[in-house]
């Protein structure tokens, strides 16, 4: 069963990639909040409260269906703590029914073997668990000490892929914890990523030299196939305190849907455009695709960076792919790009006659009804 799920997931990853290459007129990734409440209270977080009720299930399902109608290819449940929503599994099932990949970001506290089996049954594709430190402290209780047992249960029972995200940042007290956590994640067969802590507007400060060394060590451990985190030139510059010139496609290729059903740019830029998802149209997607965001140069929202990288591949494939691989080979001369990048290279670099790959793959792997590219 596990292997069958892995194969199915890989095929759907290829479809997400193929559809992103084929068209710029749909959201690649949407993050949606089923409940704002959280069972923890990390001192750096501005994305939770301690009192909100879950969004009623009928309303959540309507929102998921609307994202499906817009052609969204990956839908992520976030929060607050999404596992506090009593019908979280029904929401995941509905995401899969739209044809999108279903992913979940959790603090892991509510995971048990039984909960993991229910997530398997609901069709979850990816789970990201964030671990901030080895021992809990007054900043964060998301510690390896508390969550290690949960990681073991995930390794034993989960049919879905697991990513353990840890953090670095100028204010992080014990930065070497990030490396301990990333190594533990890899030892259990999970992917590991590292985020750079941002302030309340999504901006970051440069990392001290010791943290940059730890960051480089963790990057060498990353393995995800459908992830551009290996090549994250945004993060590479951020850790050095340098600005990046890029076009943020939030509101178009990436959507953030709050508990009130409004579309925002991202978790750190709520209030723009703040239009109800129910009336969000292809024209809104088109407008926001072109809107310049003043917060872009020092933005640390890595999921939006990754969406932008897909569009960079789409718009200037030859330059983007050659640059990605060349930069990685500066630190690792024997580096071989993962499957999806090799497929893209075959399509765009080595075989100019094969530029219809995106269309062909999307057609082969199935297009959902109602899409109109
Ligand atoms: S667990 Fe996540 S959502 Fe909850 S307070 Fe901490 S960072 Fe915020
Ligand atoms: S650049 Fe985009 S993703 Fe980053 S903070 Fe601004 S709106 Fe959000």
In ligand 2, the atom with minimum distance to the C-alpha of 254 is: 3
pLDDT tens string for the chain (373 positions)? Answer: 778 888 889 889 888 888 888 889 999 999 999 999 999 999 989 999 999 999 999 999 999 999 999 999 999 999 999 999 999 999 999 999 999 999 999 999 999 999 999 999 999 999 999 999 999 999 999 999 999 999 999 999 999 999 999 999 877 889 999 999 999 999 999 999 888 887 766 667 788 888 988 988 887 776 544 455 555 678 878 888 888 889 999 999 999 999 999 999 999 999 999 999 999 999 999 999 999 999 999 888 989 998 998 888 888 777 777 777 777 677 667 766 666 666 666 665 555 554 555 555 545 444 443 333 3
In ligand 2, the atom with minimum distance to the C-alpha of 272 is: 7
Q: Which residues contact 97 (CB under 8 A, 6 or more apart)?
A: 68
pLDDT digit string, tens, across residues 125-179: 999 999 999 999 999 999 999 999 999 999 999 999 999 999 998 778 899 999 9
Q: Which residues contact 16 (CB under 8 A, 6 or more apart)?
A: 28, 73, 74, 101, 226
Instruction: Say how far apart CA 152 and CA 161 lie, in whole Å.
Output: 14
Nearest C-alpha neighbor of 202 from the set 268, 247, 251: 268
Instruction: Say how far apart CA 296 and CA 350 lie, in whole Å.
Output: 33
Assess whether the C-beta atom of 150 lies below 6 angstroms from ligand 2: no
pLDDT number for residue 300: 86
pTM of this prediction? Answer: 0.88
Q: Taking phi first (over 0 means left), then psi (-120 to 50 degrees means alpha), and beta for anything else, what does residue 23 get? A: beta
pLDDT number for residue 163: 95
Q: How far apart are the first and last CA of the chain?
A: 34
pLDDT digit string, tens, across residues 69-114: 999 999 999 999 999 999 999 999 999 999 999 999 999 999 999 9
Assess whether the C-beta atom of 299 lies below 6 angstroms from ligand 2: yes
Number of neighbours of residue 47 by Cβ within 10 angstroms: 15
Instruction: Map out the domains of the chain with their CATH numbers.
Output: 2-336 (3.20.20.70)
305 CA from centroid of ligand 2 (Å): 9
138 CA from centroid of ligand 1 (Å): 13
pLDDT number for residue 292: 96
In ligand 2, the atom with minimum distance to the C-alpha of 304 is: 3
Number of neighbours of residue 171 by Cβ within 10 angstroms: 12
pLDDT number for residue 368: 44
Q: Which of 81, 83, 150, 169 gets mutated to test ligand 1 (max ligand atoms within 8 A of its CB)?
A: 81
């Amino acid at each position: 069963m596990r292997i069958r799920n892995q194969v199915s997931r890989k095929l759907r990853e290829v479809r997400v990639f193929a559809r992103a290459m084929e068209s710029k007129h749909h959201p690649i990734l949407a993050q949606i909040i089923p409940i704002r409440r959280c069972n923890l209270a990390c001192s750096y977080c501005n994305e939770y409260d301690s009192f909100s009720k879950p969004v009623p299930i009928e309303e959540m399902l309507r929102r998921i269906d609307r994202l499906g109608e817009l052609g969204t290819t990956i839908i992520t449940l976030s929060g607050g703590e999404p596992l506090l929503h009593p019908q979280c599994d029904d929401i995941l099932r509905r995401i899969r029914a739209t044809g999108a990949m279903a992913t979940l970001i959790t603090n892991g506290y509510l995971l048990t073997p039984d909960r993991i089996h229910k997530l398997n049954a609901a069709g979850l594709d990816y789970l990201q668990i964030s671990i901030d430190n080895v021992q809990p402290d007054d900043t964060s209780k998301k510690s390896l000490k508390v969550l290690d047992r949960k990681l073991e249960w995930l390794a034993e029972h989960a049919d879905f892929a697991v990513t353990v995200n840890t953090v670095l940042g100028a204010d992080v007290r014990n930065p070497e914890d990030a490396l301990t956590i990333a190594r533990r994640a890899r030892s259990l067969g999970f992917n590991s990523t590292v985020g750079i802590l941002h302030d309340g507007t999504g901006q970051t400060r440069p990392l001290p030299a010791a943290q940059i060394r730890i960051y480089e060590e963790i990057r060498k451990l990353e393995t995800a196939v459908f992830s551009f985190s290996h090549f994250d030139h945004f993060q590479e510059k951020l850790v050095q305190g340098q600005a990046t010139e890029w076009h943020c496609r939030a509101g178009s290729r990436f959507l953030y849907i709050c508990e009130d059903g409004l579309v925002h740019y991202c978790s750190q830029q709520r209030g723009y455009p703040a239009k109800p998802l129910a009336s969000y149209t292809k024209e809104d997607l088109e407008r926001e695709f072109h809107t310049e965001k003043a917060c872009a140069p020092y933005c640390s929202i890595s999921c939006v960076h990754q969406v932008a990288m897909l569009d960079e591949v789409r718009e200037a494939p030859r330059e983007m792919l050659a640059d990605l691989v060349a930069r990685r080979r500066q630190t690792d001369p024997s580096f071989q790009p993962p499957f999806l990048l090799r497929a893209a290279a075959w399509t765009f670099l080595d075989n100019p006659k094969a530029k219809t790959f995106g269309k062909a793959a999307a057609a082969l792997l199935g297009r959902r009804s109602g899409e109109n590219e």
